[in-house]
Amino acid sequence: MVLAAGLGLRMRPLTETTAKPLLTLGGRSLLDHALDRLEAAGVQQAVVNAHWQAGKVAAAVAARAAPRLSLQREELLLETGGGVARALPHLGEAPFVVANGDSVWLDGPRQALGRMAAAFDPAQMDGMLLVVRAAQVDGEIGRGDFFLDPLGRVRRPKERELAPYVFAGVQILSPGLVRDVPEGPFSLNILYDRAIDSGRLFALVHDGVWFHLSTPPDLERAEAAVRAGLVRALF
């Protein structure tokens, strides 16, 4: 699933008349970048949700030949968790990928999604997050998102702690984690906390490039990096 329903408030004024995943980087929309990574990893079928500027998102979905896409229009913004919960009947019984529609990552020596799939163990895990080292992020990330133990198990930072890892907006989730959830809108953070409490949320550190795209200056810096050719040379 690709989450493309958010309002993109921090990216305004660029998102006043379009959805954030339809902004472009290197000549392709952020949504296409995410779908390109899914297609390259062998994903054949996916759901894209839409709320803000849903008609434009629908047109972008219709323009792609692969993967096969289903559009989930949300008249009420369901947030990340609510969107995934509504799509669950279309996502199958096996663990599935969820990517933010504004998450742009480039693979390192191996495909990030392939590394995640190989490392995901349903017997021990309800979720696996792709994370990047906070020190490598160009942009404002606050106190970071997570700590990892030597096995990759996740915990959140305690008060006044600075976490060394930032969530990259890509994850594998078990369908069982998305059952018995709140009605209507809710954040995936509720499910992360549930999995953390049971010791079943893990993370994998990305070994390629990830672009932090929260504000217009973030997008400008990313575009400059792409145009300079540095990213292409390294990856």
> Does the pLDDT of residue 50 top 80, yes or no?
yes
* 0.85 exceeded by pTM: yes
- Assess contact for 56 and 65: CB atoms under 8 A: no
What's the CATH code of the domain at 85? 3.90.550.10
- Reported confidence tier of residue 231, pLDDT bands at 50, 70, 90: low
- 147-192 pLDDT, tens per residue? 999 999 999 999 889 999 999 999 999 999 998 898 999 999 999 9
Averaged pLDDT, 82-102? 95
Q: How many structural domains are present in the chain?
A: 1
Q: What is the pLDDT of residue 80?
A: 97
Place 226 in a pLDDT band, splitting at 50, 70 and 90: confident
- Least confident span in 17-21, 118-122, 207-211, 229-233: 229-233
Q: Is the pLDDT of residue 235 over 50?
A: no
- Answer whether residue 214 shows pLDDT above 50: yes
- Tally the residues of the chain: 235
| pLDDT for residue 98 is more than 50 | yes
Nearest in space to 35 (alpha carbons), one of 16, 10, 12, 62: 62
Pairing of strands 165-173, 127-133: antiparallel
Contacts of 97 (CB under 8 A, 6+ apart): 1, 38, 41, 43, 113, 116, 170, 171, 172
Q: What is the DSSP string of 149-201?
A: -TT-BEEPPPTT---SEEEEEEEEE-GGGGSS--SS---HHHHHHHHHHTT-E
* 1-14 pLDDT, tens digit each: 999 999 999 999 99
User: Which of 50-54, 106-110, 230-234 is most confident?
Assistant: 50-54
Residue 33, SS3 per DSSP: helix
Say whether pLDDT at 234 is over 90.
no
pLDDT for residue 233 is more than 60: no
Instruction: For residues 184 and 96, give the distance between their C-alpha atoms in angstroms, rounded to a whole number.
Output: 21
In the predicted structure, residue 124 carries a pLDDT above the cut 60: yes
Q: Which domain holds residue 213?
A: 2-234
In this predicted structure, what is the pLDDT of residue 143? 85
User: Residue 28 pLDDT > 80, yes or no?
Assistant: yes
CB-CB contact of 49 with 83 (8 Å)? yes
